[in-house]
Amino acid sequence: MRRQTLFLPTIVVSAALLASCAGSSEPTQKTVSSDSTSSSGDTSSTAESQEFPDVVDATLSASGDEFTIAVTISSPYDTPQRYADGWRVLSPGGDVLAEHQLGHDHANEQPFTRTGGTFAIPEGVDEVTVEGRDQDNGYGGATVTIEVPR
């Protein structure tokens, strides 16, 4: 697999997460950003030819034994009936560790970033992969694999 580091989206997502936590009394969080990894899915950039949404960045944050993830997706939105409607977090063995459902299209916001709720990652799992989902075509497209902060 080929890996590319995406610095600008990582900085933007990290800054947004830090800003949203300003003034909160939550525990200190460790944050790990992604190295992008393309899967075998269609990763073209036009809605007409792109079959699946692409995950373009992800930031995993740890607070104790709980994790949250901010995921940036580029979706081939072409109708209100077809858009990226979620993502999932997978272990290296393919176990689903978390799923997040999106309730509406993001046609005027591409790419877009959303944060999922807390979930557990088993001990011994050192990296996770994030995969996007399209309403019509299911899971596929470019994925992002990130290191688990411990």
Structural domains of the chain, count: 1
Q: Are the beta carbons of 93 and 121 closer than 8 angstroms?
A: no
Full residue range of the structural domain in which residue 76 is found: 3-147
CATH number of the domain residue 75 falls in: 2.60.40
Lowest mean pLDDT among 14-23, 57-66, 103-112: 14-23
Mean predicted confidence (pLDDT) in 59-65: 94
Nearest CA to 6 among 52, 47, 59, 61?
59
pLDDT at 40: 37
Cα distance between residue 129 and residue 107, in whole Å: 25
88 pLDDT more than 90: yes
Q: C-alpha distances in angstroms, 66 versus 14, 91, 114, 118, 130?
A: 18, 15, 18, 6, 17
**In the chain, helix, strand, coil percent, each to 5?**
10, 45, 45
Going by DSSP bridges, is the β-strand pair 84-90/112-119 parallel, antiparallel, or unpaired?
A: unpaired
Q: Are the beta carbons of 56 and 6 closer than 8 angstroms?
A: yes
